[in-house]
Chain A
Amino acid sequence: MVQLAYLIPLFPLIGFLINGLGWRTVPKQAAGFLASLMMLISFGLSLGVFFEVKNATAAIAPIHLFDFIHAGKLVIPFAFKIDALSSLFLLIITGVGFLIHVYSTSYMHDDEGVVKYFAYLNLFVFSMLLLVMGANYLIMFIGWEGVGLCSYLLIGFWFKNRDYTNAAKKAFVMNRIGDLGFLIGMMLVLLNFGTLSYDSLFAETGGMVMSNGLATAIAICFFVGAMGKSAQLPLYTWLPDAMAGPTPVSALIHAATMVTAGIYMIARSSAIYNASEVALQFIAVIGLVTAILAASIAIKQYDIKKVLAYSTVSQLGFMFLAIGCGAYTTAVFHVMTHAFFKALLFLGSGSVIHAMGGEQDIRSMGGLGKKMPITKWTFLIGCIAIAGLPPFAGFFSKDEILAAAFAHNTVLYVLALGAALMTAFYMFRLYFLTFTGSFRGTHDQEHHLHESPIAMTFPLMVLAILAAVAGFFGMPEVFGEHHLLNEFLSPVVHNHGVHHMEHSTEYMLMGISVSLVAVMIFFAYSRTRKPDFAPNTGLAKVLEHKWYVDELYDAVIVRPLVQFSGFLDRIAERKGIDGAVNGVGRLVRWGADRMRLLQNGQVGAYLFTMVVGIVLLFVLGLFCFNF
């Protein structure tokens, strides 16, 4: 079964080729069905692979397909690595991916570009599978760029809207900045170790071969790549704008899978990161600051998708905080639970937007729960999961992160707890404003409200179940269970400096966070009873405007860059280069104007010139060369 793992990315690729090449001819209904079928096959294969990996006793050798680069001593094979980490990601990608494909068949059914949409979606899944299955950094990088491309294509899917294409461009450029870091890190690895493959690299760095400085340099470079892809400070601003894409895309790419690529990459490189305390510290700080900043912005957003987008940024910050504390498996655990509940929340918001006829502003929603019960209940489960009430998934993973932070440093813990409480607040603010109270939209919208069709509610229900129970894979040891996920991942990912705490401490941490979260939910409830949408002032206004980060980037980076390129355009290009080229032309023309006067048609003049020339040559020969 594992030897057939190369089929997993193959099926989405086939789906992409059929839909992509036949985007004019493939019937609309067939495209969605085909794409979903391909995902289902991949998911079935992934399940088989997963259980085989789970029961395997020894490490599974990479699946070597062919040599991708073979130059002198450098050999980079096109090979797939199937182990605990990648098989877990395979399940998340194909499983959540399949559900979102099914959802999309209904959500996008009346869009004119639906065939293209499914082609892009399949291409995305293919790239993402390549990213997690690659046995070396180069294959990962191919997938890394591929998902970036698909993200760009899908954000700008409704390309007739100028703002949407700008958002797509922004995402692409921001990702390129991060990709450069990844690329430099790869070069550093290649230069110092002569290989990019995980097996040989980590066998080598298992000892003390890698110096601390080198490890820090590589680790920071890789982390810069992760910053771009996983939307961390300072490169996070593309993710909220990426909500311009269709909502299922936001669920799949910008919540469940692509943005967690950075976490995957760092978990994969845990051996490098363990060699560098500095890099881990740096990651922890960046992750924490991102988590707090994004959570604070989410509190004052009115666009249902923007709230979820900032929530995603914030949750990614939590994951990086876990990594910074050396708890890679915790980060992966949170990736898994987050994939379930955030995909659920996004799909739920898609269902709401669908019912509201494209309206995304929660100020004109309210009381939707009566008309769309399934969406309401599944959304509520998602909110509880992300807020972290037991026994839902988010409780276990988030609590583990908080515990890791506590073991590391109390200040980290307090700040992370603050961000977690803000999460509970803004999620329940969103829930109460959308689904409870009375409707605030127009009469037409109210009349139009309806529960979504089964193709949309089915994925919601499946994801709701997963969001409710996924936490049990990572039951903390304090409950007397084995931490299934940690045990599963332990051969691949090596946690670093994670202390085991007293049981009483752990109970105390859980008690604190659960009781405070409950208080925050009540607070959110009381604040949304009588919604008041007066213009914000003071800090609230700053939060509504996202700390003016976009404006800051615009003023500090974008505008000077535009001015500089304007300068280059006006001076260097037009005056310098154009001037030189045109100058040569003008010089020749000016010279020719003078020279053509010599051709006067007088034979006598020609003769005279000739004779003078001959005489001169003679004189010259006589006096100068003496012959």
Chain B
Amino acid sequence: MPIQYYLFLSLALFCIGIMGALMRRNAIIIFMSIELMLNAVNLLLAAFSKMYNDSAAQIFVFFIMVVAAAEVAVGLAIIVMVYRKVHSVDVNILNRLKH
């Protein structure tokens, strides 16, 4: 399968992730969009790894997965705490840092 397919798929996933992060107000959706972007990059790395017959990129992917897992733990914990505090996960009302 030509590499272009993987590229376009990855690009599409990344753009969906960006759009989601920018346009949605629900913190969990934004979080998912960010994960989507990360995985788009992972897909790209795996594809290039296959193309160049180089396993280094695959190692990289595992690292990203580990970091993403850790980040999800922290991020979800924050969101849960926010929800407990304000009973909402809408990011637009989370502007108290301004004051």
| A interface with B by C-beta (< 8 Å) | 599-604, 607-608, 611
Contact = CB atoms under 8 A, between A and B. Distances in A.
Interface stretch (B5-13, B18-26, B68-76): B18-26
A306 B18 CA distance: 97
Nearest to B24: A604
Contacts of B95: 600-602
Nearest to B97: A601
A472 B93 CA distance: 111
A607 B95 CA distance: 14
Nearest to A602: B95
Given A600-B98, A601-B98, A611 B91 contact: no
Given A607-B21, A611-B18, 9 more contacts: A600-B98, A601-B95, A601-B96, A601-B97, A602-B95, A603-B30, A603-B91, A604-B22, A604-B92
A133 B94 CA distance: 87
Interface in B24-68: 25, 30
B98 A607 contact: no
Q: Is the interface of B mostly helix, strand, loop or mixed?
A: helix
B26 to A, nearest CB: 11
Contacts of A607: 21-22
A427 to B, nearest CB: 89
Contacts of B18: 611
Interface of B: 18, 21-22, 25, 30, 91-92, 94-99
Nearest to A599: B98
A93 B88 CA distance: 98
A74 B14 CA distance: 80
A23 to B, nearest CB: 63
Nearest to A596: B98
Identify the 8 closest CB pairs spanning chains A and B, nearest first.
Answer: A601-B95, A601-B98, A603-B91, A601-B97, A608-B22, A602-B95, A607-B21, A607-B22
A598 to B, nearest CB: 10
A521 B2 CA distance: 133
Contact of A604 (B25, B97, B98, B99): B25
A599 B97 CA distance: 9
A147 to B, nearest CB: 70
B94 A601 contact: yes
B47 to A, nearest CB: 20
Contacts of B25: 604
Contacts of B21: 607
Contact of B22 (A599, A600, A601, A611): A611
B79 to A, nearest CB: 12
A442 B94 CA distance: 94
Contacts of A602: 91-92, 95
Contacts of A601: 94-99
Contacts of B96: 601
A603 to B, nearest CB: 5
16 contacts: A599-B98, A600-B95, A600-B98, A601-B95, A601-B96, A601-B97, A602-B92, A602-B95, A603-B30, A604-B22, A604-B91, A604-B92, A607-B22, A608-B22, A611-B18, A611-B22
B56 to A, nearest CB: 22
Residue of A599, A600, A603 with highest tally of chain B CB at under 10 A: A603
A608 B92 CA distance: 13
B84 to A, nearest CB: 18
Nearest to B27: A603
A11 B25 CA distance: 93
A410 B87 CA distance: 116
A475 to B, nearest CB: 102
A485 B35 CA distance: 112
A412 to B, nearest CB: 91
Contacts of A611: 18, 22
Interface centre among B22, B25, B94 (most CB of A within 10 A): B22
A501 to B, nearest CB: 103
